[in-house]
Amino acid sequence: VPLEPDRAAPDVGIQLFQLPWTAIADECEQTLAPNGFAWVLTSPPNEHIVRDEWWASYQPVSYELESRLGTRDEFADMVQRCDDAGVQIIADAVINHMTGQDDPGVGWAGTPYEHYDYPDLYGYDDFHHCGLTANDDISNYDDRAQVQTCELVNLADLDTSRQNVRDTVGAYLDDLLSLGVAGFRIDAAKHMDAADVEAIIVALPEGTRIMSEVIRGGGEPVQPEEYTAFGEVFEFTYARDLLPALASGFVNEPETEGDRPLHVPADKALVFIDNHDTERGEADLTYRDGDLYVIANALMLADDYGTPVVYSGYAFSDRDAGAPADDAGRVTPVSCAIATDLPADDYEDGARTCVQTWPAIAGMLEFRAFAMDFPRLEGVSEGDAYGFERAGRGVIAVNVGDEATSIQIPTTMQDGKYCDVVSGGRESWTNDGCRDDEFSVENGVATFALAPFTAAAIHLGTAHR
C-alpha cells in the first residue's frame, strides 16, 4: 500500500498568463487538480483598452468583467468549475491606475473613456496629478512621493487616499468575490501607499487572500515589508538569488537558520522562478532554458521557504506580442491536457508552454505534498552537484554541470529503493517498478548518479522493494 501524502494539494499556485477563462476551467479539471495545484492566478478580468499587445490587460477602462480573455459569465463559470475541482482562483487586480492612453477611446466592452475621465467611476479629481516631474511620470524610484503619486508609464494614477476611490475599487473587488474568487494579486502595489491598500483590504471579507506585487528594489524607499501586515507579497529576491547562480553553474545555499536576508518572512512570501514581467526582463532562466529551468523549478518546489507560484505562459520573440487571438481579438483557448514530451526543445511563437503538465513539475508537487511540513536540512555540494533533504521525507539532487556526476546525501529515510519523481512524474512507482529513474538509500546515504543538467527527487511515497 503506497504511503499517503500529508496534503493532497500543498499550497502551490500557478500563474496562467493570458489564458481565457474557458481554457482555465478546462485546465483546472484536466491538469491542475490532478497534478496537485491549489490555486490559479489569472490575468486581469476587467474591461481594458482595445489593443493586441498582452499589456492591454493592464490598462483598465471600466470594472466590467469583459475582456479578451472572456465574458463575465465565462469568468463566473470558470470560478465555479475550478472550485468544484478543488482549485481556487486569484484574480489580478489592477487598482493603482486606469488606462494610460492620452486620446479618448472606447474599451473592449464598448465603454467610452477619456484620459482621467471614466463614466460612472472616476473623474479628473480622483487622480493624482503629482506635479513632481515634467510629465507627471515616475522618473526616480528613490523618491517615495514620485513612486506613489506620479504615473507609472503614463497610467492615470488613482488617488487611493480618497474615500470614494477606495469604495469604487472595493465594490469591484467585492463583485469578484461574489463570483467566488479566493483573493487578489494587487498589481503595482508599490505605487500605492500601503495604508491605502490596507484600507481597501480591511473592508473585504475576512480570509480574502491578498498577494501584493512590490518588486524589491535595492535602496528604494518603498519596500515589500510595508505590505505584509495585510497579506502576502511576491518576493523577487528568491529568483534573483537562485537563477544567476544556476545559469553560471552553481547553486546558492540559502540561509536556513532564521530569516533569509532581503526576504520577507517565509509565511508572507510568494516565490517564483519567473513571471510575465521577468520572463521579458530580469529572469536569467525561462521556458527557453529547458533543463536548467526545470532544475530551478524543482529546487523551488523542494524548498521550505515561501509559497511557490509556477508560471505558465506562451512562447514569444516580441516582448509586446499578445497571445494568439481570433479576428475579433478574443484570445484563443488552448488546452494543455494532451501535451506530451515537455518541456520542448523549441517553441513556436505563441505556443503555450504548458508547464503545469511537465512531469518534473507534477512530480515535484507530489514531493511537496509529502515534505511540506518537514524542514529543509543543510545542503550538500559535490562538484557541480548539489542536494538537500526535507527531514526524513524526501531528498532532491541536481547536477548543474555539463558532465555526468554523482552525489551522496545523508538522509534519515529508510534504506531501500525509491523512484525519481523528476523523470517519472507523479505516481512514478508502478507494479513493474519505476516508470523512469530509480535511486537507492543505503546505510543512511542517498546516492544519485546524474546526467548533465538534471534534477532528481525521491520521497517516502516512491519507496519500493
| Residue ranges that bind ligand ARE, judged by CB under 6 A | 55, 58-59, 94, 100-101, 141, 152-155, 187-188, 190, 213, 215, 217, 220, 276-277
Which of 11, 8, 21, 27 is closest to 338 using CA atoms? 27
CB of 65 to Ca ion, least distance (A): 23
Q: What is the largest CA-CA distance in the chain?
A: 73
Q: Answer whether the bond into residue 343 is a cis peptide, omega within 30°.
A: yes
- Select the binding partner of residue 94 from Ca ion, ligand ARE, none (C-beta < 5 to 8 A, by kind): ligand ARE
Of 25 and 95, the one with the shorter C-beta distance to ligand ARE is 95
CB of 193 to Ca ion, least distance (A): 8
Q: Which strands, in side-by-side order, build the sheet including 385-390? A: 380-382, 385-390, 394-399, 454-459
CB of 154 to ligand ARE, least distance (A): 4
284 is catalytic: no
DSSP H helical segments within 161-271, as ranges? 163-178, 194-202, 237-247
DSSP bridge partners of 88 = 39
Please pick, among 47, 74, 157, 213, the residue that the annotation labels catalytic: 213
CB of 159 to Ca ion, least distance (A): 8
320 is catalytic: no
By CB under 5 A, residue 191 contacts Ca ion: yes
- Select the binding partner of residue 215 from ligand ARE, Ca ion, none (C-beta < 5 to 8 A, by kind): ligand ARE
> Contact, 275 vs 286, CB < 8 A?
no
Of 94 and 463, the one with the shorter C-beta distance to ligand ARE is 94
Please pick, among 47, 92, 136, 187, the residue that the annotation labels catalytic: 187
Q: What is the DSSP letter of 289?
A: G
Of 47 and 304, the one with the shorter C-beta distance to ligand ARE is 47
Of 188 and 201, the one with the shorter C-beta distance to ligand ARE is 188
CB of 279 to Ca ion, least distance (A): 25
Listed in order, strand segments (DSSP E) in 349-424 are: 380-382, 385-390, 394-399, 405-410, 416-419
Size of the site for Ca ion (CB under 5 A): 3
CB of 191 to Ca ion, least distance (A): 4
- Select the binding partner of residue 411 from Ca ion, ligand ARE, none (C-beta < 5 to 8 A, by kind): none
CB of 241 to ligand ARE, least distance (A): 16
Region near Ca ion per CB under 5 A, out of 88-96, 103-111, 175-183, 436-444: 88-96
> Contact, 298 vs 455, CB < 8 A?
yes
Alpha-carbon distance of 273 to 260, in angstroms, equals 17
**Could you write out the DSSP letters of every residue in 128-139?**
----SSTTSB--
- Select the binding partner of residue 116 from Ca ion, ligand ARE, none (C-beta < 5 to 8 A, by kind): none
Which of 319, 316, 313 is closest to 336 using CA atoms? 313
Of 83 and 198, the one with the shorter C-beta distance to Ca ion is 198
Of 179 and 188, the one with the shorter C-beta distance to ligand ARE is 188
By CB under 5 A, residue 157 contacts Ca ion: yes
Element (H, E) at 88: strand 88-93
C-alpha separations of 248 from 275, 278, 400, 405 in Å? 21, 18, 9, 17
For CA atoms 319, 323, 324, 330, the dihedral sign is negative
- Select the binding partner of residue 157 from ligand ARE, Ca ion, none (C-beta < 5 to 8 A, by kind): Ca ion
Of 154 and 237, the one with the shorter C-beta distance to ligand ARE is 154
By CB under 5 A, residue 393 contacts Ca ion: no
> Contact, 399 vs 453, CB < 8 A?
yes
DSSP H helical segments within 30-150, as ranges? 33-35, 72-85, 144-149
By CB under 5 A, residue 196 contacts Ca ion: no
Of 31 and 59, the one with the shorter C-beta distance to ligand ARE is 59
CB of 82 to ligand ARE, least distance (A): 22
What is the SS3 assignment for 195?
A: helix
Tell me whether strands 209-212 and 232-234 are parallel, antiparallel or unpaired: parallel
- Select the binding partner of residue 55 from Ca ion, ligand ARE, none (C-beta < 5 to 8 A, by kind): ligand ARE
- Select the binding partner of residue 302 from Ca ion, ligand ARE, none (C-beta < 5 to 8 A, by kind): none
Alpha-carbon distance of 125 to 159, in angstroms, equals 8
Residues that are catalytic: 187, 213
Residue ranges that bind Ca ion, judged by CB under 5 A? 96, 157, 191
